[in-house]
Amino acid sequence: MKKEKNVFNKKDGSKFYLIAFAILFVALIARIIFTGITNDVPVKDGLVANNVANNTQKAPIELSFSDVLRRVNDIKTMDIGKDNVAIGTLKDGTPYRATITYNPELLEKISANGATVSINNTDTMWDGIAKWLPILVSALFLIWLLRLMRGGSGGAGGITRSLIGQNPTKITTGKTKTTFKDVAGIDAEKQELMEVVEFLKNKDKFKSLGARIPRGILLSGEPGTGKTLLARAVAGEANVPFFATSGSDFSGIIVGLGVAKIKEIFELAKRNAPCILFIDEIDAIGQSRSRHSFNDNDREQTLNQLLIEMDGFANDTGIIVIAATNRPDMLDAALLRPGRFDRQINIELPNLEGRRDILDLHAKKFKINENVSMMDVARGTTGFSGADLENLLNEAALHAVRADHKSVEQSDIEEARDKILMGPKKKRKMRPEDIKLTAYHEAGHAFVGLHYDGIVDPIHKATIIPRGRALGMVQHVPVDDKVSMTIEEVRADLSVDLAGRASEEIFFGKNKITTGAASDIEMATRLARRSITMAGLSDKIGMVAINQANTFGQRVALENASEKTAQMVDDEIKNWIDVAYRDAKNLISKNKSSVEKLAKALLDKETLSADEIREIVYGKRGAKKSAPKTTTKKSNAKK
């Protein structure tokens, strides 16, 4: 890849005046500073600072004008320079310095007493420079501005073009080696872009059928999903030049700068067609225009110029504009119409198979132990983007180095995942009773989660090691990606979420429950509210979409609902939570011994794997001795 330092070809005729102006300006500042320094006579230890060898002199005394009038008979010499500063000696040999008011009668009176008086009004070289330098600086600056205005395409345009040369848009140019082989986990999106590659390679094939290739492609999606990588791969696959810039490069403090930059960049692309022009974070200049955006005229002018440039393309120029954004909802509608960005591709977070492919691709850069299962890692990274997965393997490699492992092992990847999801391990000084309560809390989660095995996601491990803000956790790893949940799964999840609080109450009493279940209650409430108000899973509320609106953190009334309906929703949510909590309490109460064994094992080992949890509950590892004493799962179906 090559980087073009300045895409704006500009003659340097005005640089001489700019450099001369800068030099003279610095000289003027230096003169002001030098004058300020020399006007003061530095004194140290009663001696003049510029003593020469052993010929020391007394420091001059400061006389006011009234002192001079009073001591006229004591003055021996007086030398009056510019600014009415007088220096000389008294008859006793003491040097002095005074600022006097020019008065011929006073000077005659001093001379009449035998004193030698001299007046020096001659300008020094520095005085001449100080007088003419500001005029010269101003003249050079005006000449520079006039040359710019004559050299540009009209008045301020020339100045703007010159300023662009001083602050060029950052454009990455050249041919990229990235191809579709370097992109994994987004096969459907790659297929959408294959038409662009085919057009760049063989546009006559499309012309023969009268087909028009999209002029612009908008890639949207969450951060880290591979938008920039995909754009680079299109250019590499088609073997055409790739020009990359970002929306923020078009904004500046100079009005008209963004417009000029847009023009120059598209001229550069036309000179190198066929090519790919990639604009990252296009929402920086492409935000929707409105009647109230009076203070953002420069951004709107830049957007207008972008619209003009894209609309002005001929169908056979071979320039494909690819833009990326995380906020497609903010873009102006004029950008998204056919003829501009007429194809929009939303890049979603990778699914299970996609995460495994991405992990396999990135694993080639690391030394991974052969016993590591990338499918197991993919199952435990639901919601991770491609960038997150690469960062996961990198964190695992760093942990392997710290642990002095010869290769990245499964334990390194698990530690890296826990660190990313919940933060690093915390060494907190906790009271013994808090540690014990945490163990019973997590044991409650683990037991109820094991009871609903097959309905909720399988348990991966339970731990009481503090991480981030959590004092402990029970981790579930999904078998595959869920796109929806049944009402049975919702109610089971609610019981698992509230099992920690239920265990605290059963083993320590109602007066000993803690705030440690706050996040569990929050998750359960959110799940219940979404199920009732959006998914229509409540018979009492029915299949009505009632969205919860939270504006600026303030709780407001439910949308599309009357006050009576809002009260019914609140009552139904509370009913679901109460039923789930009662279900969890019943399960733990009837199996206290099993839950207590789990808690004691957590206190002893701090972390239990899924197999160890099953062995404690069922008796033998990997085989169920007998089902725990529980009520049937009918409690889950109550509404």
Q: What is the pLDDT of residues 452-509, one digit of tens each?
A: 988 998 998 899 988 877 788 888 888 777 778 999 999 999 999 999 999 999 999 9
CB 347 within 8 A of CB 241: no
Q: 432-637: which CATH architecture?
A: Up-down Bundle (1.20)
Q: Where in the chain is the domain with CATH 3.30.720.210?
A: 8-167
More confident residue, 551 or 222: 222
The residue type found at 483 is V
The secondary structure of 144-166, three-state, reads HHHHHHHHCCCHHHHHHHHHHHH
3.40.50.1110, 3.40.640.10, 1.10.8.60, 1.10.3720.10: CATH of 352-422: 1.10.8.60
Neighbour-count burial of 614, counting CB atoms closer than 10 A to its CB (0-12 exposed, 13-18 middle, 19+ buried): buried
Sign of CA dihedral 435, 437, 441, 446: positive
Distance CA 33, CA 29 (A): 6
pLDDT of 1 > 60? The answer is: no
User: How far is the C-alpha of 437 from the C-alpha of 631, rounded, in Å?
Assistant: 25
Whether 596 sits among the annotated catalytic residues: the reply is no
Residue-wise pLDDT for 39-52, tens only, equals 444 433 333 334 33
| C-alpha to C-alpha distance for 305 and 284, rounded to whole angstroms | 14
CATH 3.90.1150.10 fits 171-347, yes or no: no
**pTM given for the model:** 0.65
Say how far apart CA 164 and CA 257 lie, in whole Å.
Answer: 7
- Give me the mean pLDDT over the 339-363 stretch: 89
Q: How many CB atoms lie within 10 A of CB 398?
A: 14
Least confident of 18-22, 151-155, 368-372, 405-409: 151-155
Helix (H) or strand (E) holding 576: helix 563-589
pLDDT band at 552 (very low <50, low <70, confident <90, very high): very low
Task: Give the N- to C-terminal CA distance of the chain in Å, as an integer.
Answer: 62
- Closest of 129, 110, 126, 123 to residue 82, by C-alpha: 123
Between CA 316 and CA 211 the distance in angstroms is 11
pLDDT above 70 for 607 = yes
> What residues are paired with 321 via a beta bridge?
216, 277
Please, where in the chain does CATH 1.20.58.760 lie?
Answer: 432-637
For domain 8-167, the CATH architecture is 2-Layer Sandwich (3.30)
What is the average pLDDT value for the chain, to the nearest integer?
78
Residue 168: what pLDDT? Answer: 44
- pLDDT above 80 for 103: no
Location of each CATH 1.10.8.60 domain in the chain: 352-422
The pLDDT tens digits of the residues spanning 106-144 come to 777 777 777 777 776 666 666 666 666 677 777 777 776
Local structure of 116: helix, strand or coil: strand
Q: Residues of CATH 3.40.50.300 domain(s) within the chain?
A: 171-347
**Helices (H), ranges, 423-465:** 432-451
Q: Among 442, 504, 505, 572, which one carries the catalytic annotation?
A: 442
Band of the pLDDT at 318, cuts 50, 70, 90?
Answer: confident
For range 163-183, the mean pLDDT: 63
Give the Cα separation of 348 and 193 in Å (integer).
Answer: 15
Nearest to 504 by CA among 606, 581, 579: 581
Per-residue model confidence (pLDDT) at position 34: 54
Band (pLDDT 50/70/90 cuts) for residue 21 is: low
Please name which of 336, 350, 353 lies closest in space to residue 387, comparing C-alpha atoms. Answer: 350
Report strand pairing: 85-89 vs 77-80.
Answer: antiparallel
Split at pLDDT 50, 70, 90, the class of 268 is confident
Task: Give the integer Cα–Cα distance in Å for 249 and 154.
Answer: 24
